Amino acid sequence: MCNPSVHDVAAYLLQYFNHPITTMKLQKLAFFSQGWSLGLLDEPLFQEEFQAWRHGPVCYELYQRHRGQYFISDWRGNPDRLGAYQKRLIDGVLQNYGALSGSDLSELTHKQGTPWSTTRSERGLRDGAWADDVIDKGVMQSYFRQQLLNQNT
């Protein structure tokens, strides 16, 4: 099995919706998919990084493709590169987060203690400040693992 890219994950995510979604929603669903993969499976879903931009986590490789667009309905990627367990994980993300708007998802990523807020806080970035600092996958893994523990208590 090939290692999937963020583009393969984006293509799989977009197959779920029968209507266009915002690029913000796509970014955040990809972020939650990566986070839960790190937290549950102890491995990244894809190798591309997320950066702590002012409006939440952004994968630059996704941004390069959707730049200038607000809505998106399809994506050049190959969902067949995802294994069955990876698809089940993404399906779980979609069940839990798929009905939320991009703004709602962004708000979730901005909460105190999230990987995005931790990264920005550690860099001394104020609200609204532009930044492209990488969100460490270890920080993501710790956060999502803790979320799992909190759900089970």
pLDDT digits (tens, 9 = 90+) for 16-63: 998 999 999 999 999 999 999 999 999 999 999 999 999 899 999 999
Count CB atoms within 10 A of the CB of residue 5. Answer: 17
> Has residue 45 been placed in a domain?
yes
pLDDT above 90: residue 149: no
Residue-level pLDDT at 153: 66
> Has residue 49 been placed in a domain?
yes
> Has residue 105 been placed in a domain?
yes
Residue-level pLDDT at 114: 97
> Has residue 1 been placed in a domain?
no
Residue 22: both structure tokens together: 């915002």
Count Cα neighbours of 64 within 13 Å in the Cβ-side half-sphere. Answer: 8
CA pair distance 31, 42, nearest whole angstrom: 15
The boundaries of the domain holding residue 132 are 6-151
For 86-120, b where at least 16 C-beta lie within 10 A, e where not — what string?
beebbeebbeebbebebeebbebbeeeebbbbbbb
The continuous run of DSSP H or E covering 71 comes out as strand 71-72
> Has residue 96 been placed in a domain?
yes
- Residue-wise pLDDT for 57-86, tens only, equals 999 999 999 999 999 988 899 999 999 999
Looking at the structure of the chain, the number of domains it has is 1
> Has residue 82 been placed in a domain?
yes
> Has residue 29 been placed in a domain?
yes
If you compute the radius of gyration of the chain from its CA atoms, what whole number of angstroms results?
14
pTM of the model: 0.95
Residue-level pLDDT at 152: 74
> Has residue 100 been placed in a domain?
yes
- Residue-wise pLDDT for 114-142, tens only, equals 999 999 999 988 878 888 999 999 999 99
Mean pLDDT value across residues 143-153: 88
pLDDT above 90: residue 2: no
